[in-house]
Structure 1
């Protein structure tokens, strides 16, 4: 069981000693995973508890709300990914101007030492913390020597032999920015290679215009408050995971339904190959579901009418079935 805390005061007095890492961890991609792997190794070596300190909202949403990047994942999916990796605890610090004003030493003393009883700190080479991002790796090392904790720095965030390359065919540093670039192009395969798993969105299923149902392709429409980066418009093969944990193969549409002069972007998943006995009872309205993107089938196209659209949708379902199930 992973402990989740929202403030250092929630950490039990007898918790620790701990081995701590700090970061936003948006995406929990392969670069982050290298830091987390070192965190777990160090915790095992020192008999400590592994703890991730992360922030909500993302600092850029506080300091630069008009230009903050769209997040790859929501908080719940971040917590799930960290739990899947095997950490013992996550401290989710509420990021606000008061926290941003803490000096590096105040942050370390209050959060890492007084709160988490850190014996070791594992960080990436690009660490920045404290007021105005004034703290870096050397600051952390200096504070470690002064206050009595060890510091380990993970220096490589590269693809590390994984099949992830930039346009020039050379290894590129794994980063949240790279994931966003791939998703903005609809390249969910590259995004998955960087992340180490398929990209996902999470949201409540709401009523839509019911056009898909009228055309014979009912869809689960995600509400506009769903979390997770919305990939480029198009049709994708992927999976829908309902609240029971059942994974359903799906053809996923992202876009504004140009055939019907749609305006707002919508993410909707048509579940394929449902058992006959499940068709009538298959009602996802009000459920919070996860949609995973496996492959992009095509871009979004405006067809001349419903008949042409239906024919293309049939082809999309066949292609999605082949990619997801005929392996």
Structure 2
């Protein structure tokens, strides 16, 4: 997949395009990407995505911005997996936010992304003060030479697939609901780094993964499945949070204990899928209590996989 940074350099060819934040790349996003791919093949053009960094809500009001489901790297990998041939990552800054709807169409869609066919979600708005809508795009397309179509939302299990719905499910520890809306278990990727080696001292060696999701979309102790450590997925138990018992920290950490595995995986890039929440993160009175609870967590996770 070709990745363009910014909206100054024109795409190599005309495109079939969709636009959005695509946080989480849930079932609704996947359906949109599938339709873009279908139209792109019919036109003989690349399937293209325009997305933004940071999330517009992070730009306008960082204090109340929602927790990100995916880092930019994770999102780009998912977009590629679901069929994007080209992704343009536009910086969302003061200049971009000030573009009028007409300027967005002319400068970004036509000049940069050379749009031939545009497919958008049914709630898409754009331009300064969100003034642009589907009707404006249709009118512009008629005069500037591109087609426009809108896709309806995807409903799964009686619920509209949305990033906010996934966030609600994760915050509530409802991993089954999150997986239903995503079409797959929720996962976080990251590289294994050296830590304090406390887990090994406590009898439960862990892979420590520094993550960039802050605020976190979920916290607690989970039964997980991990890829990237071996030639097959490995089961384990993970703690995601700030480790209050060992002093706490501002930067969240993902600690994963892999069952029946003792390989050296420092530096490995792992993908951790959260399958079932066991409990909330908590502070224990001493290390003995912590060790006892870790043992119970490991047994509970093993029991989950044996169901």
TM-score (norm 2): 0.89
1:132 equivalent in alignment to 2:119: no
How many angstroms does 1:125 deviate by?
0.8
Give the match's secondary structure for 1:66. helix
Match in the other structure for 2:174: 187
Query: Structure 2: which 5+ residue stretches go unaligned?
Result: none
CA contact (8 A) 1:6 1:92 kept: yes
Q: What corresponds to 2:234 in structure 1? A: 248
CA-atom RMSD in angstroms: 2.4
Tell me, in whole angstroms, the C-alpha distance in 1 between the residues paired with 2:214 and 2:183.
Answer: 16
Cα deviation per residue 1:182-239 (whole Å; 9 max; x = unaligned)?
Answer: 111122221111111221223343343433211100112222x523763543220112
Q: Does 1:282 align with 2:264?
A: yes
**Mapped contact 1:74–1:228 kept (Cα < 8 A):** no
Segment of structure 1 superposing worse, 237-246 or 214-223? 237-246
Check conservation: 1:236, 1:296, Cα contact below 8 A. yes
Deviations 1:79-133 (A, max 9, x none): 1111001121111111111111112222122222222221110001101111111
Cα deviation for residue 9 of structure 1 reads: 4.1
Kept in 1, the 8 Å contact 2:26–2:182? The answer is yes
Q: Paired residue for 2:65? A: 68
Which of 50, 55, 58 matches 1:58?
Answer: 55
**Aligned counterparts of 1:299 and 1:7: Cα–Cα separation in 2:** 40
For structure 1, the residue ranges without an aligned partner over 5 or more in a row are: 165-170
Question: Is 1:4 aligned with 2:8?
Answer: no
Q: Secondary structure at the match of 1:250?
A: strand
C-alpha separation between the residues in 1 aligned to 2:90 and 2:205? 41
Q: Deviations over 1:288-325 (max 9, x none)?
A: 4332211112333555544444344333323323434x
Is 1:296 the counterpart of 2:273 in the alignment?
A: no
Q: In structure 1, how many angstroms separate the alpha carbons of the residues matched to 2:28 and 2:300?
A: 32
Give the length in aligned residue pairs: 306
Matched, 1:111 2:91: no
1:152 is aligned to 2:134: no
> Alpha-carbon deviations, 1:35-91, whole Å to 9, x = none?
112211222222222101101111111111221111110001101111001121111
Distance in 2 between residues matched to 1:76 and 1:256, nearest whole Å: 23
State yes or no: 1:87 paired with 2:68.
Answer: no
Matched, 1:316 2:297: yes
TM-score (norm: length of structure 1): 0.84
- What is the match of residue 272 of structure 1? 259
What secondary structure does 1:203 align onto? strand
Residue of structure 2 aligned with 1:101, choices 98, 115, 123? 98
Compared with structure 1, are the counterparts of its residues 39 and 100 closer, same or farther at alpha carbon in structure 2 (3 Å cutoff)?
Answer: same
Q: CA deviation at 1:137?
A: 1.2
Secondary structure at 2:281's aligned position in 1? coil
